[in-house]
Amino acid sequence: MTTEENRPERRRITLTGISSRAWEHPADRGALTALRELRGFDDVVKAFFGMWNERGFRLQYLAGSIRVDHRQYPRVYQRFTEAAATLDVAELPDLYVTQSPMINGQAIGIDKPFIVITTAAVEKLEDDELRALLGHEIGHVRSGHAVYKTIMMILTRWAANLSWLPVGALALRAIIAAMLEWWRKAELSADRAGLLAGQDPAASTRLLMKLAGGGDLSQIDTAAFLEQAAEYESGGDLRDSIHKFGLTAWSTHPVPVARASELRKWVDSGEYARILSGDYPRRDSDGDASVTEDVKAAADSYRETFTNSQDPLVGLLRKLGGGASDLAGSAARGARDWASNAGRRRDDNPPA
């Protein structure tokens, strides 16, 4: 195995002024743009949920974890500053290391989000892999994911508390299912941010391999891992499709092999190279983002996934012919129509 000591340091390009729209998956960006268009929505959420919950979360980690800076976990702090500098993030969120045997990281909070990674991440990840993980979490913060994830966590608790009330529980479960689908796309966005922060596709893949259970890279192989991803996406029969649905329907994260496959597809699409060449949206143009275009891109993304999926169940639906195609087309047209109407309403009612 190539060790960290003899692996040459890569020169990273600073992505000056980069907007989070550059790395956001179309389905994630469409949902975020629509939510941001609800004038004052974020302020209401912050006022209602952030008053006590965020303080409690922050105090929990302040009391029982290590806050990272140049004195505590200086290696982690250096990788953190490098990832932030590459993504042109001037103000670093607070970063904590908490005790856990599992490699993990999360962005928490509403008013002032902070990042938490585990001791396993510190111990088991090499510098370039750690940089990718920290870039992933910075991507969550920059996209505003922490706000909506916190809402989802609270709604999940409400659903559990209202389980005795069938109607209320069903309504909340439908909302949570939709938010979980969005959150899985948000994870794909953050994977792209992690890659842009580290600018090392191999390291991003190794990070996902270690998340899947490969702490010792001398015992595993990148090509074989990507073969697993291909087998997961296309192998099996209808029974496997049903099992795969059960694996993901109520999960916040896509499975690691699917994340590796999606990241590879994004690199192969040429979008990663275009961003490194300087062709990306800037933060100073975020105000010009079009909800119509972003929701249309989300609908097109889902339709493309349906068309190109190798999953046996999706393949069967395609073989059914016009019905399934019409369903996918109607969904895409409906989303575009909704976006168009939303765009007209926004134009008719400009902000004061």
Catalytic residues: 137
61: tokens are: 């980690």
**Chain mean pLDDT for the chain:** 78
Predicted model pTM: 0.76
What pLDDT score does 286 carry? Answer: 77
| Share of residues in the chain with pLDDT > 70 (%) | 60
How is the chain split into domains, by residue range?
20-289
Position with higher pLDDT, 149 vs 219: 219
Measured from the Cβ of residue 333, the count of other Cβ atoms closer than 10 Å reads 13
Coil vs helix vs strand at 15: coil
229 CB-contact burial (10 Å; exposed 0-12 / middle 13-18 / buried 19+): buried
Question: Which amino acid is located at 87 in the chain?
Answer: L
* pLDDT tier, 349 (very low <50, low <70, confident <90, very high otherwise): very low
pLDDT of residue 347: 42
pLDDT greater at residue 288 or residue 264: 264
Residue-level pLDDT at 243: 67
What pLDDT was estimated at residue 87?
97
Per-residue pLDDT tens digits for 270-286: 999 999 999 999 998 87
- Tell me the CA distances in angstroms from 105 to 98, 108, 111, 209, 273, one per residue in order: 10, 10, 19, 15, 26
Q: Report whether pLDDT(342) > 80.
A: no
Average pLDDT over residues 106-126: 91
pLDDT(62) > 80: yes
Strand, coil or helix: what is 44? helix
Using CA atoms, how far apart are residues 183 and 173, in angstroms rounded to an integer?
15
